[in-house]
Amino acid sequence: MQQIVVEARSLQHSYGGVQAVRGMDIGVGQGEMIGLIGPNGAGKSTVIECISGCVRGFSGQILLYGVDISKWSTFKIARAGLLRTFQTPRLFRRMSVLSNLMLAAEQGTVEGMGSTLLGKWRRRDAERLSQCLDVLDRFGLRAIADNAASDLSGGQERLVELCRILLSKPKVVLLDEPFAGVSPENRHRLAEAIGELRASGSTLLMVEHRLEWVERLCDRVVVMAQGREIAAGAMDEIRANEEVVLSYLGTKSHPLPSTTEGKGA
Amino acid sequence: MVSPVDGKKGILAMEGLVAGYNRQEIIHDATASFSEGSATAIIGPNGAGKSTLFKAVFGIAKCFSGRLKVDDAEIKVGDVAAFYRLGIAYVPQVRNVFPSLTVRENLLLGTRRRSEASRIEHVVELFPDLGKAMRTHGGDLSGGQRNMLAVGRALMADPKYLLIDEVSGGLSPLAAELLWAKLGTLKDQGLTIVAVEQNVHMALEFCERVYLMISGRMRPAESSAELVERVDLGTVFLEGESESNLQLTQRPVGQSS
């Protein structure tokens, strides 16, 4: 049986007076990629926020390899190998693209960062540099290696964000609408970067609206509406699911119960 | 080319708006018109650019080309003085009330002249819940109250046109329907309503006219009934920014602008 790498159990979370997630269970198996889709306000991003520790105060459990990480800091979760992307990529804007990647590569090295022997450090540095340049080459970003991260297009920012994640060799990656704001030309590169993450053994959960990419990249799709799961399966099953299709059109309030009809709310 | 809607006066129109952020185009050639006392909904799947459209009109997003007109007189995008003078009011989706000011203070900010302060009575009549919370700070209001306050403040300037971004945003379905009902009352009194609305059911129920937006393009206006008949909206919204959906924004053969 496939090991469940990351899991949310009985997840519930409210923002202010609004219940964003009302009892959500989701688990991703080793090496699997799951697409999480649903209309606006369904609670999809909130699930990512909870799993990555970026919001507090939710109820339920988040498990990573069976360990309860619900109360862990974001730092600890990242160190444990669970990384994520953000709606707007959070790069170090005043640093160059290359420096951004070098920072990530440093964390991915097997040897401890405590090693300060000059010779060893230089050799490792050269290795890291060549790894970073390699990644930049693979995704057509070599030309912008020295650009400040603040000077990139939306698509380039997203690609650099993914490159940084690749270099960190993560166990789990949560992707929050990665294709948003990415030009058509860069979308294929982005898909390639995601493919490389999978090839290297990472487990992925992707929230996305662009169904063509969900279909191409994901093994399985989960649909959320109004804070909970309403369907799961392959994309064509989901397209044929009337409840799913209707959920995108918004809800009507329940008619006030009348004495003659006797229907509940 | 903008054709007068039924020849009525009081027409607010946009022609060929191209807009976005920084160098990126989000809205491509948006053309629409709204006549006095009508309620028009702008609907579309995620990423359609509905909010960006309003933001471009009010100068928050960048407008690369296109025109705005009121009765054939051109006005500049973002010209808030002109908007005030012509009675065009905007209710943004977020950050639409001042959290540190009271309800009363928020409402009074909607007017430029002291003589208009008495309009508070009208607003309270429309939204009695606000009347009970005049001394509550904006930041302490519930979502529904906040939306009412945002609309109320826009009404303080006695506008002719109300452009409201996401009527039902963050509201329970019941609260959203109650707000829509109030907007209906205002429409009957002659207010032109243009509403971006995510809840398609409500948009079609409360507005007689609708523009469907997909990936920054607008489908020519239709009545709600016509749209439902011609387009499988559920699938369109599910598919979002797909190639097949883009075709829907092309003008159907034989239909005039």
Out of A114-118, B125-129, B197-201, least confident range: A114-118
CA distance B161 to chain A (A): 26
Test B24 with A154 for CB contact under 8 angstroms: yes
**In the predicted structure, residue A249 carries a pLDDT above the cut 50:** yes
**A216: chain B residues, CB-CB within 8 Å:** none
**In the predicted structure, residue B65 carries a pLDDT above the cut 80:** yes
What's the pLDDT at B5? 45
pLDDT tier at B63 (50, 70, 90 boundaries)? very high
The span from the CA of B162 to the CA of A261, in Å, is 38
B233 touches chain A (CB under 8 A): yes
CA distance B35 to chain A (A): 26
B172 touches chain A (CB under 8 A): yes
CA distance A253 to chain B (A): 5
Find tokens 């002249």 and name the residue: B113
| Alpha-helix runs per DSSP H in B70-209 | 80-86, 103-108, 120-126, 128-131, 143-155, 173-188, 200-206
What's the pLDDT at A261? 39
**In the predicted structure, residue B239 carries a pLDDT above the cut 60:** yes
Return the residue of A nearest to B44 by Cα: A249
Spell out a b/e string for B237-253, using b for 16 or more CB atoms within 10 Å of the CB, else e: bbbbbbeebeebbeeee
pLDDT tens-digit readout, B81-99: 999 889 999 999 988 999 9
Test A249 with B239 for CB contact under 8 angstroms: no
Return the residue of B nearest to A20 by Cα: B170
Report, as an integer, the average pLDDT of B12-32.
90
Q: Tell me how crowded residue A78 is: count the other CB atoms within 10 A of its CB.
A: 17
C-alpha angle A251-A58-A197 in degrees, rounded to nearest 5: 90
Q: What residues have CB less than 8 Å from B110, skipping those under 6 apart?
A: B152, B153, B154, B155, B156, B157
Out of A107-121, A210-224, A225-239, B61-75, least confident range: A107-121
What's the pLDDT at B94? 85
Q: How much is the mean pLDDT over chain B?
A: 88
Test A211 with B240 for CB contact under 8 angstroms: yes
Amino acid, res. B170? G
A39 touches chain B (CB under 8 A): yes
pLDDT tens-digit readout, A138-183: 999 999 999 999 999 989 999 999 999 999 999 999 999 999 889 8
**A41: chain B residues, CB-CB within 8 Å:** 198
B45 touches chain A (CB under 8 A): yes
Amino acid, res. B156? M
**In the predicted structure, residue B31 carries a pLDDT above the cut 60:** yes
Nearest Cα to B25, choosing from B57, B49, B54, B59?
B49
- Determine contact, residues B53/B27, Cβ cutoff 8 Å: yes
Nearest Cα to B48, choosing from A99, A52, A209, A247?
A209
**B45: chain A residues, CB-CB within 8 Å:** 209, 248
What's the pLDDT at A1? 60
Out of A110-119, A151-160, B242-251, least confident range: A110-119
Which of B:181-210 have CB within 8 Å of A? 198-202
The span from the CA of B89 to the CA of B110, in Å, is 10
Test A244 with B235 for CB contact under 8 angstroms: no
Report, as an integer, the average pLDDT of B141-164.
92
Q: How much is the mean pLDDT over chain A?
A: 88
A116 touches chain B (CB under 8 A): no
What's the pLDDT at A259? 42
What's the pLDDT at A103? 87
Test B241 with A250 for CB contact under 8 angstroms: no
Return the residue of B nearest to A254 by Cα: B174
pLDDT tier at B243 (50, 70, 90 boundaries)? confident
What's the pLDDT at B143? 82
**In the predicted structure, residue B14 carries a pLDDT above the cut 90:** yes
pLDDT tier at B22 (50, 70, 90 boundaries)? confident
- Determine contact, residues A5/A30, Cβ cutoff 8 Å: yes
| Ramachandran bin of B95, using left for φ above 0, alpha for ψ from -120 to 50, beta for the remaining angles | left
Find tokens 């970067």 and name the residue: A193
The span from the CA of B22 to the CA of A79, in Å, is 35
Closest residue to B234, CB basis, from A209, A211, A249: A249
What's the pLDDT at A143? 95
CA distance B107 to chain A (A): 24
Test A252 with B200 for CB contact under 8 angstroms: no
Test A209 with B46 for CB contact under 8 angstroms: yes
What's the pLDDT at B4? 41
What's the pLDDT at A121? 52
Test A250 with B168 for CB contact under 8 angstroms: yes
Spell out a b/e string for B184-207, using b for 16 or more CB atoms within 10 Å of the CB, else e: eebbeeebbbbbbbbbbbbbbebb
pLDDT tier at B116 (50, 70, 90 boundaries)? confident
DSSP state of B48: S
pLDDT tier at B253 (50, 70, 90 boundaries)? very low
Report, as an integer, the average pLDDT of A180-194.
92
A248 touches chain B (CB under 8 A): yes
B215 touches chain A (CB under 8 A): no
- Determine contact, residues A7/A28, Cβ cutoff 8 Å: yes
What's the pLDDT at A117? 39
**B234: chain A residues, CB-CB within 8 Å:** 242, 245-246, 248-249
Test B237 with A39 for CB contact under 8 angstroms: yes
pLDDT tier at A228 (50, 70, 90 boundaries)? very high
Alpha carbons within 13 A on the beta-carbon side of A241: 19
Nearest Cα to B216, choosing from B44, B67, B94?
B44
What's the pLDDT at B51? 92
Spell out a b/e string for B58-72, using b for 16 or more CB atoms within 10 Å of the CB, else e: bebbbbeebbbebee
User: Which phi and psi angles does B252 have, rounded to 5°?
Assistant: -65, 150
CA A193 → CA A81, A161, A171, A211, distances in Å? 18, 10, 15, 18
Q: With a threshold of 0.90, does the pTM exceed it? A: no
Closest residue to B200, CB basis, from A17, A41, A249: A249
Strand, helix or coil for residue A114: coil
**B202: chain A residues, CB-CB within 8 Å:** 250, 252
Test A251 with B235 for CB contact under 8 angstroms: no
